[in-house]
Every structure is written in structure tokens, then in C-alpha cells.
Amino acid sequence: MKILRRATSILGLLAALASFALAQISYKPAEVIAVTDAYRTYRVNGFVVLDVSIGADGAVSGTSVLRALGTLGSAADSSVRTWKFRPAEGPNGPLPSEMTVIFVYRPRNYGFAQAIPPEDFKPVLPEPRADSADPDYVPPGIVSVSYPKYPVNSVTAGSVIIQVTVGPAGNVEATDVLRAMGPFTALAVDAVGKWQFQAAMLRGRSVESKLAVAFLFQPPETPYHGN
């Protein structure tokens, strides 16, 4: 009988420790809840990647440029500061955190532009930073990307902004359209669904995370044939 009680006590202790461990890693990532049009006139193509620091009150406390593209980094920073965020949450409530935001300046092509793989894209794999809003948290990494196609017969410029949920395995679990723009939306969702990510880490364990991707579209140019 004593052995049974001792075994029961040990099992109870193990269950309590397991519950405590789960509570310790209970984490709900920060997310974007409102955006503004991110479009700016641009002449170069590529990616701007920002690490956005978000306070426990949901306000942007700072940004760090992980991937720059000429002067477009400042334009991306200005856009992000007009957005609204919901802070991350841990077992004890809201807490400061980091969120990755990517601006994709899609190439301007002649005619019916097709998806163009960025040959020079190098993975963006964040590392722990001493000045991070949460030094125990490492945002998700971006392993590979692709550009969306451009809608046939369209001559519009603008942006589509998508929030991506990245699972603990680095897979795309969900996409949420924050800003739609006619036929561009489906093409942007299709493109980001093909991206590959590295999972975010919290205290050495992979966790679910969210990041935002703003796709900027320019209308294709019509080649000049002359006389």
C-alpha cells in the first residue's frame, strides 16, 4: 500500500512538473491588427526585412533592418510605424517581443510579368540580440522566397499585405490577408504559400510565430519599339 501511495505521489509530481513546463513555454506571438497601404514608388527590386520591437502595450518601440534595399528601408520603417499591433502574451499576460516584417518590391517587367525567383536571395536567419525586446525569443527565419505573378491586363500599382502564421516545424500554418487589392491578392497569397521558413525559438524551443509580408506591385512597362 505504501508503494502504491509513493508511486501515485511520484506520478502526481511528474504531472505537476509537466504542467509547469508547459506553462513556462505558453506563448502567443505578437500580431498585426491593422495596416495602411505600404506602396511607395520604387526603381529597384528586392526585399527589405525589418525586425520590429513591440512593447507590452502593442506600440512599436524600435526597428532593426535585417535586409536593406537602398533607401527603401526608411520607407518600410515609416509604413510599419503606422500599423497597429497586438503584443505577445506569456503565462503572466502581455510582454515585449519581436516581429519580422518583409517588404517585397516586385520587379517591373515588360508585358505579362511572370514569377521571377530572386537568384541572389540569401536566407535571413535572425539570432538572439542583447538589445532585443525579449532576449529569450528569436524571430522566424526566411529560408527561401518567390515573387508573385502580375495580373494579366492590369495597370494598377499598390500593395497586398499578408500575415503568415509559421508553425513550430517552420511550415506555413495559415495566411491572413490584412490588405487586399483586387486580383493581386490571390497571387500574393499563392506566392507566400511557397516560401520556406525557419521556426521561431523561445528559450531554446521552437514555437508558433507570426510575420507580415507586404507585396508591392508596379504595373508592367510597355517596351518602346520606335519607328
Identify whether 113 is part of a domain: yes
Identify whether 46 is part of a domain: yes
Residue 160: CATH number of its domain: 3.30.2420.10
The count of domains in the chain is 1
B/e letters for 121-138, b = 16+ CB within 10 Å, e = fewer, are: eeebebeebeebbbeebb
Per-residue model confidence as pLDDT tens digits over 84-137:
999 999 999 999 999 999 999 988 764 444 445 555 678 999 888 777 878 889
What residues make up the domain containing 118?
A: 29-217
Nearest by Cα to 73 from 61, 81, 85, 65? 65
- Residue 205 neighbours by CB distance under 10 Å: 13
**Can you tell me the distance from the alpha carbon of 181 to that of 159, in angstroms, rounded to the nearest whole number?**
7
Identify whether 92 is part of a domain: yes
Average pLDDT, stretch 148-153? Answer: 81
